[in-house]
Structure 1
């Protein structure tokens, strides 16, 4: 499912027809077309924070530029992020992505020891990124106090889909919004995974919290490569040519991708697709609970926008990545995943990462019959794999 990109399926007529129509006019126009203008107008009409939109190629670029904007607007250096939240593999944000399994230490004030998510990033980049645990408002407040007037922004996934599916605590996003406003830092929502999946306005619409800037990708293009940075005009206007911040690229706003994204946003407008996916999500969560209960396997299941986190090993809602790493039975999960993939043709189903589950991803092309069949295969596979806790 393209890590959440294929909201309409792998071969949606909506996307295919938009591309074929666009090909009649060529596949790369270096400057904006009517479709670019229409896409921006449609986008800004439905996304709460979006007074202006700037197109880029990927979620990585969108989050990278969003932090650049925050630094330019505030004149500060530090970006605060949350452990386990993944914002693309750019040098300044690939920190504490999977730090818990590597025993990253808790420092004074509940700040996390800086651990890079890949080799090849100089430690100096870590000096500009501060990581704290998800849902830990005290740690966030402490970080603001420690770094005082040098915090440019806070970036987060409004629903932590990169560690399964962990929602914010009640009132957490509202408190983060209030704290960033009080401290003069920008609040950045990474909606690359949440955007357009549950509703056309993004998670910010669901939770009623409007960030200063938001990054979108994946389901924005429904399989075509496109992403965007959206935000309040006063912040977006620092981007050239109005302002001094450079955001550009040869393939930025490629015509084929713009045509597909415009077709997708118009198709999603009436809510039919989102209602269908919500019904599928509810059906699959219930089916998975029944199967795991039948086999007496503790499991917490939650979902957002048709992406379902299956947290094997606990019946309680985890709040942080460290809690997940503590109970998640990686050996069992790997054996189950291998069996499902190789012998039951459930590819990517209940995929374990090294420290947490990858969400099961639904699309508008799935049916209730497919979900029932998947649960039957899972039931059969669990008869052959002995569950053991971590």
Structure 2
């Protein structure tokens, strides 16, 4: 069957690549922080592999590591000195990491992290937070977008279970308890209600999947204390925060050490690699030392490990993080000035070069429901459409169904690109009348 324009609507590698409003985009080339469409036009990229391409689309650091590996059985996935070195450097940088096990994706890392928690504690239930996304595995894809679908807060302070996709039996929801982000009382009530059956809490330490919402002051410390008190494991999903602001991740920034942490995205800076790290007493339950199976044919492929090792060595001096932080400050100031100029309420926050632009918010939103109540989706869609189709900005200020996707910066962006993006936004807003939700 010949593929026509109409049938190409599903022509994407991942569902999210079918961008809101503009649909799928066919890329001909990519260089640095820019992508070339099949029309020949170059666009400045503010998605950057959904946050994974920290060093750009064609980093010479990664390219050189791949080139040097091509003569060494580059498809093998057996243990080598590079595997050992990567583990040693990773564990030296990440506070919770006494041991590291490689996996293929963030989805696998979070899935295995909860399996470890259940095996270690002998308990069943995992607490998670509304809007936090931990990959599309069956046990954690609950209440990732429940506010727009009128999920109810129950008398117990937990949320009505709503699966994030069709195809997950309701029975899985009985083992996952979703609660509002930044709600200490809801966490305490969950421990009271489920008493001795909570195996762990999993969370994004900075909630980037709902547009970058930081934890309230002291909130992570409360989670640490509660899990320790009740014999549950504290699991940080650092797939988005890990290696974005520093090598130690959000746990280093906030001074809260989890029991287990999951990594992906910037770990390999675009190469397919992820990992589970944690305290030795918990990691030793993984086979072959223990009974928990964590394995995969593609785990720890030599090319990916070589690239990840080159990346962690390149990032060690902190220069990349400092450069991205400078760009982040420049863009936040530019956005702040432009939205103020046009009289549009907007709250900005950021972490590791990923900036949440909460149009319509007069103050910091603390929960997913507060975002959903203030974010003007229809206005955001119109603005995104103009920026995408007429100003050659790829993914800049992209709206999701209920919140903004963070603008993503990389080491390949330049101050001139930031200046240009702000100028184009200013021009677009002159053509579009703001209306609140």
Are 2:220 and 1:173 equivalent residues in the alignment?
A: yes
CA distance, structure 1, for counterparts of residue 70 and residue 367 of structure 2: 46
Q: Give the SS at the match of 2:275.
A: strand
| Counterpart position of 2:422 | 375
CA distance, structure 1, for counterparts of residue 407 and residue 74 of structure 2: 33
CA distance, structure 1, for counterparts of residue 213 and residue 77 of structure 2: 40
Deviation digits for residues 122-163 of structure 1, max 9, x if unmatched?
Answer: 000000000000000000110011011000000000000000
Q: Give the SS at the match of 1:262.
A: helix
CA distance, structure 2, for counterparts of residue 59 and residue 65 of structure 1: 10
| Counterpart position of 1:195 | 242
| Counterpart position of 2:324 | 277
| Counterpart position of 1:38 | 85
CA distance, structure 1, for counterparts of residue 70 and residue 203 of structure 2: 37
Once the two structures are superposed, the pairs formed by residues 340-379 of structure 1 within 5 Å of their partners are 340-379=387-426
Q: Gaps (5+ residues) in structure 1?
A: none
- Aligned pair partner of 1:58 in 105, 109, 133: 105
CA distance, structure 1, for counterparts of residue 415 and residue 54 of structure 2: 16
Are 2:201 and 1:154 equivalent residues in the alignment?
A: yes
- Aligned pair partner of 2:345 in 298, 310, 313: 298
- Aligned pair partner of 1:134 in 167, 172, 181: 181
CA distance, structure 2, for counterparts of residue 334 and residue 278 of structure 1: 28
Q: Give the SS at the match of 2:156.
A: helix
Are 2:401 and 1:330 equivalent residues in the alignment?
A: no
Q: CA deviation at 1:27?
A: 2.1
Q: CA deviation at 1:196?
A: 0.4
Are 2:413 and 1:385 equivalent residues in the alignment?
A: no
So what's the TM-score if we normalise by structure 1?
A: 0.99
Are 2:101 and 1:18 equivalent residues in the alignment?
A: no
Q: Gaps (5+ residues) in structure 2?
A: 1-47
Are 2:38 and 1:7 equivalent residues in the alignment?
A: no
| Counterpart position of 1:186 | 233
CA distance, structure 1, for counterparts of residue 113 and residue 274 of structure 2: 12
Q: CA deviation at 1:303?
A: 0.4
Q: CA deviation at 1:3?
A: 0.8
Q: Which runs of 4+ in 1 moved over 3 A?
A: none
Q: Number of aligned pairs?
A: 390
| Counterpart position of 2:155 | 108
Q: Give the SS at the match of 2:177.
A: strand
Are 2:250 and 1:220 equivalent residues in the alignment?
A: no
Mean Cα deviation higher: 300-309 or 20-29: 20-29
Q: Give the SS at the match of 1:3.
A: helix
